[in-house]
Amino acid sequence: MSLPEPREPAGPYRVSVVCLGNICRSPMAAKVLTADLERAGMSDLVEVDSSGTGDWHVGGGMDPRAAATLRVHGYLTNHTARQFDPEDLATRDLVLVMDMDNLDEVRRAVDERGVEFGFDVSRLRLFRSFAPGCGPNPEVPDPYYGGDDGFTAVLNMIEAAAKGLTGELVSRLRG
C-alpha cells in the first residue's frame, strides 16, 4: 500500500488516528505508533495525534482499561481526549480511522470540506489495513462495552498495524 506524499516536504509527516470517543482505540494506536516510530528513529520525521468523531469525552483522559493495557505492555498513557475537527484536514498527511462508521464520519467531512483544505480521500484509510494479513475485515472493534480481554485483543491488532505502517513510513520518508 502506497502512502500519500507529504503535504509539506520540509516538515514532519502528520498522521491522525480517529475513533469514536478518543478514549480507547485511537489513543492506544497513537501511543503504539509513536513508540514504534521512536524505535525506528523516525520521531523527528512523523507526528501522531488522535481524536474522536464524538464529543462525549472531550477533555477527559484515556479509558482506564485502555491505559492499564498500554501500561502493562510498556507504553505511555498520558492523553487528553479531543474531537475530530474538519480543519484537521488542512494539516494532516494521513488520517487513519478504526472502523467503517468512523470512516463514514470522516469521509463526510472530506466530502464537505476536503477541497477547501487540499485533502482528498487518498489520504484517508482504515488503520488496520496496514497490518500484514489482517484478512477481509480491516476494522479495529470498539472494546468499550466489553471486558479487559477486548482491550488486549485490540492492542494486538493495533501493534500489528503500527508495525506495518512504521515500515511504510520508513520506506516513504527515508527512501
What are the cell numbers at 79?
492523553
CA 23 to chain centre: 12
**On the CB side of 175, how many CA atoms lie within 13 Å of its CA?**
0
Closest by CA to 3, choosing from 41, 45, 51, is 45
3-state secondary structure of 172: helix
Where helices occur in the chain by DSSP H, the ranges are: 25-39, 64-72, 100-117, 148-174
> Considering Cα of 65, then 134, then 170, then 53, what sign does the dihedral take?
negative
Q: Which three cell numbers stand for residue 27?
A: 489513543
98 neighbors 66 (Cβ within 8 angstroms) = no
d(CA 61, CA 43): 23
Active-site positions read 19, 25, 142
